[in-house]
Amino acid sequence: MNPIFKHGPSPQHRLVLVLFCSALLIFFDHKMASFESVRGYLQSLVSPLQYLANTPKQLMTWASTNITTREQLMTENQQYRLNELGFHEQAMQLDILKQENERLRSLLASPLRSEIKKMVAEVISVDSDPYSHQIVINRGAGDGVYEGQPVLDALGIVGQILHIGQTSSRVILITDISHAVPVRVQRNGLRLLASGSGKIDRLIHNFVPQSADIKTGDLLVTSGLGGKYPEGYPVAKVSFVSDDESREFVRVFSTPVAKIDRLRYLLLLSEKEPQNIFAPKTRVKNLSTSVKVQAKAAN
């Protein structure tokens, strides 16, 4: 069926309609951020596609793990045993140190550090959009993931949760151009801000004074100041410090310690009680009523 005279609105009208819709979407999504919960549902809606798109890669890894030789497995096993021995020894020391640290902290009457819960997640897709650095992981609101939750790999900080779906969620990486982490230099405690540069192997540190004591090779760890990332996890290593003293600030670049371009298993840390975005919001109401009750009691 191919009518010579077409029905329906003309292409021009359609284009205008569609552009108008896009402008509205962009405005409400970017400027007002009013799509947060809708994005959660959309993310859940498209997650089957993401799981499907990931299957070829999973088949490949499955095949490659099944084809390893016995000899390889044996050497690997031995290596793991040696590693485990080392880790055990360290863990024993850590336990003693932890107890000692807690005792000292309680002596100083400073707040005890709360235990951090961990959850393992796997990367299911990596975005091809060159303008943003994001990945999708196979954990969602159903597993207790919450927005802003810190994400790391075996070596250091990777990023934080951006949008949550029911079974998958989206992680923004520290190298994304719109992301920044508060860090400090491990050697001397100097505070810095590590902003993403849009390049996978570079973080930029702005507003570092000329007098700052910083040099190449310094390890930067999270300072815990922003309230998002817990304190003391490695973030990056300083890779470049300019020695041009005519500038107002020193130019400092660093390289993330996490292997941002080959992520597979990730660790999600949680300090606070997770809150499901899909659950009805009752907690806030309870809180306000209890505040009212307290106010009445005070009166």
Partner 1 sequence: MFAYNGVIILFTLLIALMASIMPMPLSVDVFRPDWVLIVLIYWCMALPGRVNIITAWVMGFLLDVLLGSVLGVHATAMAISIYIIVVNHQKIRNFSIWQQALITGVLAALYHLVVFWLQRFLIDVVFLTSYLYPVITTIILWPWVFYLLRKVRRNFSIK
Task: Enter the DSSP assignment of 142.
Answer: G
Which residues are within 8 A (CB) of 174 and not within 5 positions of it... i.e. 6 or more apart? 157, 158, 159, 181, 194, 196, 203, 235, 236, 256, 258, 260
- Residue 259 · residue 153 · CB < 8 Å: yes
Smallest gap from Cβ 141 to partner 1, in A, equals 16
Smallest gap from Cβ 151 to partner 1, in A, equals 15
Smallest gap from Cβ 21 to partner 1, in A, equals 7
Residue 231 or 261: the one with the smaller Cβ distance to partner 1 is 261
- Residue 125 · residue 203 · CB < 8 Å: no
Smallest gap from Cβ 225 to partner 1, in A, equals 24
Smallest gap from Cβ 229 to partner 1, in A, equals 21
Residue 62 or 87: the one with the smaller Cβ distance to partner 1 is 62
Q: What is the CA radius of gyration of the chain?
A: 25
Smallest gap from Cβ 255 to partner 1, in A, equals 15
180 DSSP β-pair partners: 195
Smallest gap from Cβ 36 to partner 1, in A, equals 11
Within 67-110, residue ranges assigned H as helices are 70-107
Residue 60 or 154: the one with the smaller Cβ distance to partner 1 is 60
Interface residue list for partner 1 (CB under 8 A):
1-3, 6, 11, 14-15, 18-19, 21-26, 29-30, 35, 39, 42-43, 45-46, 49-50, 52-54, 56-57, 123, 125-132, 134, 136, 162-163, 170, 177-178, 198, 200, 261
- Read off the tokens for 65: 């793990």
Cα atoms in the 13 Å half-sphere on the side-chain side of 180: 12
Residue 33 or 112: the one with the smaller Cβ distance to partner 1 is 33
The three-class DSSP label of residue 237 is strand
- Residue 182 · residue 188 · CB < 8 Å: no
Residue 54 or 186: the one with the smaller Cβ distance to partner 1 is 54
Residue 162 or 203: the one with the smaller Cβ distance to partner 1 is 162
- Residue 229 · residue 150 · CB < 8 Å: yes
Residue 84 or 127: the one with the smaller Cβ distance to partner 1 is 127
Give the type of residue at 181.
Answer: V
CA distance linking residue 10 with residue 197, whole number of Å: 44
Residue 139 or 170: the one with the smaller Cβ distance to partner 1 is 170
- Read off the tokens for 46: 């498209």
Smallest gap from Cβ 24 to partner 1, in A, equals 8
- In the chain the beta strands, taken as DSSP E runs, fall at 117-126, 134-137, 150-152, 157-164, 169-173, 180-185, 191-196, 203-209, 219-222, 234-241, 249-256, 265-270
